[in-house]
Amino acid sequence: MVHSPTKNHRFSQGSKQLFAPSEPPTAEFPIQIVHIDWDRLRAKRPILLETVQQMPAYLIKPEVLFLLEEERDPTYRLIIDLMWSTGARISEVLALKRDSFVDDGYGYGVILTSLKQKPGRPSKLSLQRSPKRYIPILDNQLIDKIHVYLYKGKFRQGQRIFPMTRQTVNRRIKALWERVGGEVPFPISCHTFRHSFAVHLLLHGRPLKYVGQLLGHKSISSTEIYTNVLTIDGEHFLRGVDFH
């Protein structure tokens, strides 16, 4: 004889399904995969720089990676990588200390003191008055480079980790550009990597307001100039529109 489940048994089964913990929903940024034609971007860049007056010169990812590979000094390589990966001004990178890098257990990042470019090193007074912003760093390779540099440097509390001036770094970058001999088609400076950071994020569909926040812009209009990289290659909008 087959016994049907009792009322209590049915309730226990139902309660297990009703109150059992479920997997939390994942919330990822909508744009997950972006396919970028770097050769096409490189080919379109001269037109953009010639026709948009305010558009700053910028590099694309393959060019930056090439320069990082060609820079043999680990200190300057890290400085360039930080400007490229965080959008920091060179004055902000040179103001970094050991405790500027933060790991709260949920993510790693750097706190930048928003400084405009001025000759020499930033003064203590300018550091105190300037606002700060937090930039996440997700690249494990860069995180490892930072850890190794800080460990080997044995920096004291409050000590700047890059003891040089902006002019020194710019001279180093100029020498690097001259050494690669035409692989990068225009002269570059420290600020080129900040522009490249902004363009790189917009190419990946990141919101303009967020890009502006990462750059430390007070007005979104300062960030909008970079969106020209998205509109210069707009011939697909004219496909299917016949004139003859």
| Structure confidence at residue 27 (pLDDT) | 64
| Structure confidence at residue 154 (pLDDT) | 94
| Structure confidence at residue 219 (pLDDT) | 92
Q: What is the CATH number of the domain that holds 130?
A: 1.10.443.10
Query: Of 3-7, 106-110, 198-202, 207-211, which gets the smallest average pLDDT?
Result: 3-7
Where in 96-234 does DSSP place strands (E)? Answer: 101-103, 108-113, 132-136
Q: Which amino acid is at 207?
A: P
Residue 149 covered by a domain = yes
Q: The tokens 């990822």 sit on which residue?
A: 28
Residue 240 covered by a domain = no
Q: Is the pLDDT of residue 123 over 60?
A: no
Residue 29 covered by a domain = no
Cβ neighbours around 42 below 10 Å, total: 14
Q: Is the pLDDT of residue 120 over 80?
A: no
Cβ atoms 160, 97 nearer than 8 A? yes
Q: Is the pLDDT of residue 17 over 90?
A: no
Q: How confident is the model at residue 99 (pLDDT cuts 50, 70, 90)?
A: very high
Residue 23 covered by a domain = no
User: Is pLDDT larger for residue 16 or for residue 222?
Assistant: 222
Model confidence pLDDT, tens digit, residues 166-184: 999 999 999 999 999 888 9
Cβ atoms 89, 191 nearer than 8 A? yes
Domain that holds residue 62: 38-232
Residue 169 covered by a domain = yes
**How many folded domains does the chain comprise?**
1
